[in-house]
Every structure is written in structure tokens, then in C-alpha cells.
Amino acid sequence: MKSIVAQELVKSYGKGGVKALDGLSLDVEEGTVLGLLGPNGSGKTTTVRVLATLLTPDSGSATVAGIDVLKHPDEVRKVIGLSGQYAALDETLTGWDNLTMFGRLYHLNSSGAKKRAEELLEQFSLTDAARRPIRTYSGGMRRRLDLAASLIVKPKVLFLDEPTTGLDPRGRMEMWGVIDELVKGGVTLLLTTQYLEEADQLADSIAVIDSGKVIARGSADELKNQVGGERLEITVEANQIADATRLVEQVTGVKPSVDHGIRKISAPVSNGSASLIQVLRLLDEAKIHPLDIGLKRPSLDDVFISLTGHVAEVVVGLEVGGKNAAKRK
Amino acid sequence: MLQSVSDFLVITKRQLLQMIRIPEVLIFATIQPAMFVLLFRYVFGGAIDSGVEGGYVQLLMPGIFVQTVAFTLAATAVGLAADMQKGLIDRFRSLPISRSAVVIGRTVGDTLQNVVTLIVMGLVGFLVGWRPSSGPIKIFLGFLFLLAFGYSMSWIGVIIGLSVREERVAQNLVFMTVFPLTFLSNAFAPTTGMPKILQYFAEWNPVSTMVAACRELFGTENVFGATANSWPSQNPILMSLIYMFLLVAIFAPISVRKYVRVSK
Ligand SMILES: Nc1ncnc2c1ncn2[C@@H]1O[C@H](COP(=O)(O)OP(=O)(O)OP(=O)(O)O)[C@@H](O)[C@H]1O
Ligand SMILES: [Mg+2]
């Protein structure tokens, strides 16, 4: 069963302003994770806000957990959890105050709200900070508390808008762990991200969006295959490039491409590891010692570039994918 | 129905909690009007010949009370704008709560804050010679009137807060409107000195009718008003009630609609 369906959503801000959504359609199977991957301004937040009943689209339709978002927003709100792009908490109150307040607003009784707050603080390792005002929390702690607040009554469908943006690598790993747990618990998750690596890691299926439209859809593997299969890449000393290139061609049957600047030879292969072993053996016999050799699958970065024609904007230095993208630019 | 009552009470409780968590806010919100009492009492009190028994302070206190509760509008506008800015309003809007809970909770919360402020101001006033002479029931009614006026002003604040979405803009906008309103009135000085046209304005001004009503309820002759002999200045209690009714009847539904549609 589909837990989230969006059809032909269109949304412009202001009169005749930017078209934030331009016929966006997507669907998410119950109990799975969809990663909505797109650069700044591509319409991720707008999509989430429409699905979470905060924003009315100009046209199009959507259902969440089988409920029509436009006709029955009140019913939708009972089954969703939302953690927006920026933590939305009462800064002057403590973590405990915030969670019990939201618990009461989810219509738990007083003792129920307290019990749930305690559980969540424990689950998100915030028990020690529970009695401190949010304004003393670090970015990562806020993010976790914000997520906790969206899980007070176990939602059927969860929306997380860039849950790890602004977190340091350790904070991201922690957040990924938390999200993994949630998904094991059976929630349907729509997650937006600018991090290709994150979508790869967390999502069962990925929708790449650009300028308010889904431009590609599939599992991480499918998207990578769309760009091309595995490649064998070898880096050697400059004076050995010619010999090595010949050997690679002999094994793969294709004329390899050579980048003399970084002394890299690369060629597409169909039976990756077998070719790798064969090439290594031939190189060894020819007394050529490669500086680097390996099989490379296209990264989601490659996918992104080949789909959108531009590089995903990534926050400086947070991930390997980002560096690759920058290098290629 | 019961559910929506408990929803707005949670929001109100949040505001009371804020007061406990940062007491400075309430302390300053109280010190400011208390300072006004002292300044007006001792700076203008000597210069203005009031001609009422007990002196200028008897006329001043209702004026300052009304000015203070009129500024509930500011508290509401600024508080809501801050919540908008932080994305809290969005979060509330994604919860399964009644559509009016957040705005009702806010207006009620700001009114409760007024209770504390009014008590402190009343005590300061008493210390500097304010002696309401109308008996406990009318005095109580006077304070109730003030709270009700503050509550109805608060609804204008809701609309401002949800419209500007930015704490500072809300602050400026509010001061620009409420201050002239409180000074173009009979709150601190007689309206006789104003040009005739302003006298009419001052007498129709809800702040004036409120001040006149409170003077009546606290048992002081309103020697500062009614120079233009307009109807509101002769029926201040009735006119104030009409104003309050109109404010809530007009602005509450608009506010709720605005809340439902507001999108950052
Ligand atoms: N309130 C608004 N008023 C006007 N334009 C807006 C508003 N919100 C978003 N937009 C515009 O709509 C487009 C999509 O914005 P959206 O916030 O959905 O993008 P996003 O994918 O979430 O970007 P980011 O990665 O930066 O969060 C952008 O061009 C943005 O400038
Ligand atoms: Mg966004």
C-alpha cells in the first residue's frame, strides 16, 4: 500500500512569483523510506510543508496514510510527525517542558505526557539536559529534541526535513542511528537531504528533485546504473601509462580513457572483480606497480550531475561526496 | 469542545511556564508601569491642577492602568511574531489541535500576565496616595474592566504578530500605534487644551472611554474628559463595553482565519 502519494503538485509563492513546485509527483510504499534529494531551492521544504498540511498547493492532490491532505488536514495531522528544517522549540523552556507540552497537545493525559517525555529523553540521550532551557542546547541536541517531539505519539508517517544539516560528522552518525531505529519500528519516512551519501545510506528509494520536479526516481543502485556501470581505475607512474593502458585494453576489450594529468586510466568493466584480478596479474608480470587500483561505482554525485547538469551544493567539507563534486567542477 | 479548552490551556500554561523560567521578563514588564506611576505622580502631579479630592494621582492611576493594558497588544504581537520566526507556529499547526487553541491560549496567557502587573501597579499607586473610594465591588469591577479591555486589545496583537512575522517589526509597529492612542486621550491631562477636532477624536478614543469608565468605577470625578460633550464621554462604561465587544467580534474570527492560513 502507498503511504504517501503526491500528484502533480504546483505551488508558487506570491503572485506570479517563483514556482517552488512545478508538477511534482511522488509516492512512498508503506514502511519504506523515500529520500528526497535536491539542491538548495529545489522545493524540498515546500513539498514537505504541503504534505504536512502546512501549505495549500495551487493545484494537484496528495494523500498521506490514505487520507486526502487537502480535504481532511485534521485527520492527517493525527497520524504524522514532522521535524522541520530548523528546530522548532520553545527556547525559553526546558527540554522536559517542551516534550510534556507537546505531549499534552497530542492529547496524552498529564501522567502519560510525563512518562512519554521521560522515555524520549532517555531514547535520545538527553536525560541529563532535560531540565535545561533549550537555548543552552547545542545544534545536535536541539535537532534530537525536535525529532523526539515529532515522535510523541508514534506517527504512521514521518517527515524529516534535512535532519542532519548543520550537524558535525559524529552528530550525523548518531542521527542516522536514531533514524535507522525508527525505520525498523515500521514508520513510513519521507526524508529530505542535500547529502547524496545520506540518501544512499538511509533511503530505500530516492527521488531526485530539481526546480520543483522529480527528475529521477529509483533505488540508489538503479540511479547509479542509469549513469553507467562499474569502472576499473588505475593510477600509475607517468612512464608506465602506455604499457598499462595496453594491458587494460587487452583485458576489458575496450579502449580505456586516460587522464595524463593525474595519470589515471579508466575503463568500463562488466565482471568487475575478475577483470581486476586479471589486470593485476598482468601488471605484476610486466613489473608495473600501480599507485592505486580499484573498481569504482558511480556515486550519487555522478548521478546528480548527469541528471541536473550541475553540481549539488554541499556544505563545505562535510563529506567525501562533496569533495568529489567540487573537484569535478 | 472540552478538547479545545484543554488545548488552549496547554498553550496558556506554556506562557506561565515561560514567566517562571525567565522571571526577568515579568519583572521588567512590571517595573516599567510602576516607574510610570512614580514619574507621572511626581513630575506632572505637581504641575497639573486636578481639582479633585486626593489630588492628581486619583486621575492618573486609571490612565496608567488603561495605558498598560492597552499594551497587551504589544505583548501578544511580539510573542506571536517570535513564535512565527522560530517556526513554532508551524509546529503547532502540524499538531492535531483545535484551530483556535494557539491564539486563544496566547490572548488568555497575556491577560493573566496583566493580573500580576495590575496588582503590582495598584500597590505602588496605593503607596503614593491612590485611594479608590467606590467600595470593594466597584473596585473589583474596575479591574475586571481593565482585564477585559486588555484581552480585547490582545486580538489586534494576534493579527499584527501573525502578519509581520518578525519580532522587531511587530515591536515598532505596535509602539507607533498604541502610544499616540494613549496620549491623544484623557488619560494624563485634560482634553480642553486640544483643538476641537482632536477633542472629538480624544473623546471617541476607546482609551478615553476606558479611562473615564475606570475613573467612574474607582470613584473619581472625570474632570479631564467630556469637554466636547460627545456621547461616548457621557456614557463611558457602555461605550467601552461596545468597543470591547466590537474588537473581539471583529478581530477574533479574522485572527483564527489568519492563523489557519498563515504560511511562512
Ligand atoms: N515563503 C516564501 N516566499 C517566497 N519564496 C519562497 C518561500 N519559501 C520558499 N520560496 C522559494 O521557493 C523555492 C523552493 O524553496 P524550498 O524552501 O522548498 O527549497 P528547499 O529545497 O527546501 O531548499 P533548501 O535546501 O535551501 O532548504 C525557492 O526558490 C525559494 O526561494
Ligand atoms: Mg528546505
Answer whether A102 touches B (CB < 8 Å). yes
- For ligand 1, say whether the CB of A16 is within 6 Å of any of its atoms: no
In angstroms, the CA A200 to CA A213 distance is: 20
State the distance from the centre of ligand 1 to the C-alpha of A47, rounded, in angstroms.
Answer: 10
Question: Can A2-79+155-225 and A230-296 be said to share one CATH topology?
Answer: no
Tell me the pLDDT band of B30, cut-offs 50, 70 and 90: confident
- Counting one residue from chain A and one from chain B, the pairs whose CB atoms sit within 8 A come to 69
Answer whether A101 touches B (CB < 8 Å). yes
pLDDT at B263: 67
- For ligand 1, say whether the CB of A41 is within 6 Å of any of its atoms: yes
Residues with CB in 5 Å of ion ligand 2 = A 44-45, 85
Q: What is this model's ipTM?
A: 0.87
| C-beta atoms of B21 and A93 within 8 A | yes
Probe residue for ligand 1, chosen from A44, A162, A193 as the CB with the greatest number of ligand atoms within 8 Å: A44
| C-beta atoms of A107 and B86 within 8 A | no
Probe residue for ligand 1, chosen from A9, A15, A18, A214 as the CB with the greatest number of ligand atoms within 8 Å: A18
pLDDT at B190: 83
- What is the DSSP pairing of strand A33-37 with strand A59-64? unpaired
Task: Name the helix (H) or strand (E) containing B121.
Answer: helix B101-127
Q: How many residues does chain B have?
A: 264
* A230-296 classified as CATH 3.30.70.920: yes
pLDDT at A310: 62
Q: Which of A116-130, B50-64, B90-104, B150-164 has the lowest mean pLDDT?
A: B50-64
Where are chain A's structural domains?
2-79+155-225, 230-296
pLDDT tens for A93-104 read 999 999 999 999
Interface test with A, best of B3, B14, B104 (most A CBs within 10 A): B14
pLDDT tens for A11-66 read 998 776 788 999 999 999 999 999 999 888 899 999 999 999 999 999 999 999 99
- For ligand 1, say whether the CB of A24 is within 6 Å of any of its atoms: no
B-facing residues of A in 39-58 (CB < 8 A) are 49, 52-56
- For ligand 1, say whether the CB of A85 is within 6 Å of any of its atoms: yes
Per-residue pLDDT, averaged over B77-94, amounts to: 92
Amino acid at B224: F
In angstroms, the CA A211 to CA A232 distance is: 34
Low-confidence ranges of chain A (pLDDT < 70): 16, 227-228, 300, 309-329
DSSP strand E in chain A: where? 2-12, 19-29, 33-37, 59-64, 67-68, 80-83, 157-161, 188-193, 205-210, 213-218, 231-235, 257-259, 264-268, 292-296
Task: Name the helix (H) or strand (E) containing B210.
Answer: helix B206-218
Q: How far is A321 from chain B (nearest CA, A)?
A: 31
pLDDT at A309: 67
Return the CATH class of domain A2-79+155-225: alpha beta
Burial grade of A250 (CB within 10 A; 0-12, 13-18, 19 or more): exposed
pLDDT tens for B181-239 read 888 888 888 888 888 888 888 889 999 999 999 999 999 888 887 666 778 888 999 99
pLDDT at A246: 86
Question: Pick the residue with more confidence: B60 or B2?
Answer: B60
Answer whether A88 touches B (CB < 8 Å). yes
pLDDT tens for B126-180 read 999 999 999 999 999 999 999 999 999 999 999 999 998 788 888 888 888 888 8
